[in-house]
Structures are given as C-alpha cells and as structure tokens.
Amino acid sequence: MMGTRPALRYVLIVLVTVVVVAGGVALSGQVGAQRSGLARALELLPQDTRSVGYTDWNRVADVVDVEATSPASREEFDAQARERDLTTRSVLAGRSQDLYAGFGWSLDDLDWDAYGQSRTGSVVVIGLGADLSASSVVESLRQAGYEKSSDIWHASSDEFRRAHPDIPDELNNVAVVNERTLVASTRAGVLQEMRDTSRTAAANRDLSRTADEVRGATAVLLQDGDLACDSAGFDDADPSALEAVRAAERRSGQLGTYRALARAIDGDRHTMTFAMAFDSPAAASQQIQVRRDLSSGPFIGRGGQIEEALVLQNARTDEDTGVLRFRHDVETDAFMAAVGPVIFASCAPPH
C-alpha cells in the first residue's frame, strides 16, 4: 500500500514540474520542507481565509496505533480517531476505505491536511507522506479511469460518481503544488483565483500568530475573531446561563474581544490548548488573567465543573497573544467541533 458541497462534477489535476505559483507565491518542490504542515498550509490558503481545520495524520496514527491494511482495519482506524476527537476538523475524516478503494492510498498515507474556508471558497491542502508522491497520485487517477488533456486529468462526473460515490467532493479539483503537496477544492475557479492572488493566509498575522502557539498539535482549529466568538460564545444561551456569565465577569473581570482563536488537541500528551490574539500586549496580559480566573469552577452553559474535562496547566502571554493549556481527557468532553459555549475562550456575552 502507498503506505463542506455540491455534487462531484469533475476532478482536475494540474501537475507543474518545476515552479507553481499558488496563492501568488512561487513555490518549488522544496518550499516549506522544514516548516510545520500548518505553516505550509497557511502559505497556500487564500488571504481571506477565516477558518482552518488542520489534522496531523502522522500523530493521529501514533495515538490510534492501528495498522490500516484492510477494510476492517481502516474502519477501525477511522472510528478510534473519531472517538478521540482527533479528526473532527478534517473533511477527509472517516474516508480511509473510500480513498483506498478509489485511489489505492488512504489517510495513513498522508502527513496532514488542512481545510480552509474563506469568502473566496473552500480549499483543502494535503501534505503527502513519504511513501506517497504526487506522481503516484496522478498514476492512481489514471488507473481510476481519468483522461489527460494538456496536463489536466479529467473524469466524467457520472462515471466517477457511479464508481466512487463516497469520494469527498472536496477532491473535485486538485492542483499538484509539488511532489509533497496538493491543493484541492470543489470548484476549479477557486484554485485559479488562488494563483491570481498576491498574498496568502500566512499574511494574516492574527491567524499566523495563534497557529504558532499550537504548532505540533494533533488537530487544530483556527478561526478569526468573529467566527470564534460565535462558536465559543453565549448568543444562544438561556437567561440563567447569561446571568451566570455576567456574575463570573463581575468576580473576575470583563471578557474582551480577540482577533483570532486557535483551539488544539495533542493526542499524545492529552492536552488541549486555546490561544487568542489580542489588539496589544497589554490587552493580552489583562485578558489572560481574566480567562485564567474563569478556567475553573462551574462549566457555564455545558454543565458540571470545568475541571472534570479540562485542568489548567499554565496560562501565559507572548506579546499580544494569550495562551491557556489544559490537561484534557477526551473521554469527558469534545471541543474540536467548536459546538457549545466555552466561557474562558468566549467574548463578552450579549447584554
């Protein structure tokens, strides 16, 4: 073994052998070789990216420890990873057998993937494992029945969908950046627009600095401030929960607004990290104190005590970024879906 959606219309592969301009940045086969997968993904995603879900498949495999060599074992790999909240942010999650049936390679053949959502459109960046090259991907498409035209591999939507109904739609269009990296989208126009854009998500300082604080994690969700405040906030909370938040603010200090939020899970170390980018170092220092004080006691809006799911290990600031790191048992609660309020990662509640 080589080691979010309209209906699938066609699959496009653009293979560039020397230099590809993606997201306005000239890339060779060696670009980003020494950088983390998350950093490399930000170097390719559109600048207006508002949310990035990142999954390190090598680290998932270390935690799950299932040799995905058969249909049953691939399903077991997917199930155990899902149960540990490690693959919640991947649009390829749960597709090990589907990918293998369609292309001969699977999730355990990948290094990582990142799913970016922007006003431009949705994009998946895929880092290939050491035993799976871009040329192997192209060959797998040929064997699946794709036809080549001007360095583009096409498959008719009807034929491909009948044969592989469960292949993710995000693989409709795939540009091969280099032998280690693919970029995919449901729409070919999104990839073309990325090439015509002069800057990428790496230029978004708020996303980049929160990403720096969670590099090396098994799974990461980056969100701009508006999205993160919504997903961690209390907009839909009942009056009693809102009053509990206001009472907590009266004791600990008022929750402020951040510019970006990263939440990340480390499956090996059983930790959960929340990193927030603020307007200034002073704001970060003040807010991390407030949020540290709110990191214990009743889990408002979720039930029980915070310590039953998350035990604070440390709270710190790095210039204008605040970081909270917790010991986390995945058997207690799941946070990577970004569903449900989290008071210490929230913004000011509605008044």
Pairing type for strands 321-328 and 152-154 reads unpaired
Q: Report the pLDDT value the prediction gives residue 3, as an integer from 0 to 100.
A: 43
Which of 94, 174, 181, 100 is CA-nearest to residue 144?
Answer: 100
Name the region of 290 (left: φ>0; alpha: ψ -120 to 50; beta: rest): alpha
Lowest mean pLDDT among 250-264, 304-318, 337-351: 337-351
Confidence grade of residue 153 (pLDDT, cut at 50, 70, 90) = low
Q: How far is CA 176 from CA 79, 92, 119, 330, in A?
A: 29, 18, 23, 35
Does the pLDDT at position 306 exceed 80? Answer: yes
Q: Which tokens sit at 125?
A: 């960046």
Does the pLDDT at position 20 exceed 70? Answer: no
Percentage of the chain modeled with pLDDT above 70: 86
Domain ranges of the chain: 12-203, 205-345
Which of 226, 215, 168 is CA-nearest to residue 42?
Answer: 215
Helix, coil or strand: residue 335: coil
- Convert the pLDDT of each residue in 192-216 to its tens digit: 788 777 789 999 999 999 999 999 9
113 vs 54: CA distance, rounded Å: 6
- Convert the pLDDT of each residue in 254-274 to its tens digit: 999 999 999 999 998 999 999
State how far Cα 101 lies from the chain centre. 25
Does the pLDDT at position 164 exceed 80? Answer: no
Does the pLDDT at position 181 exceed 60? Answer: yes
343 vs 328: CA distance, rounded Å: 16
Can you give the pTM of this predicted structure? 0.88
126 vs 53: CA distance, rounded Å: 12
Does the pLDDT at position 49 exceed 60? Answer: yes
Q: How large is the average pLDDT for residues 83-103?
A: 94
Name the region of 111 (left: φ>0; alpha: ψ -120 to 50; beta: rest): alpha
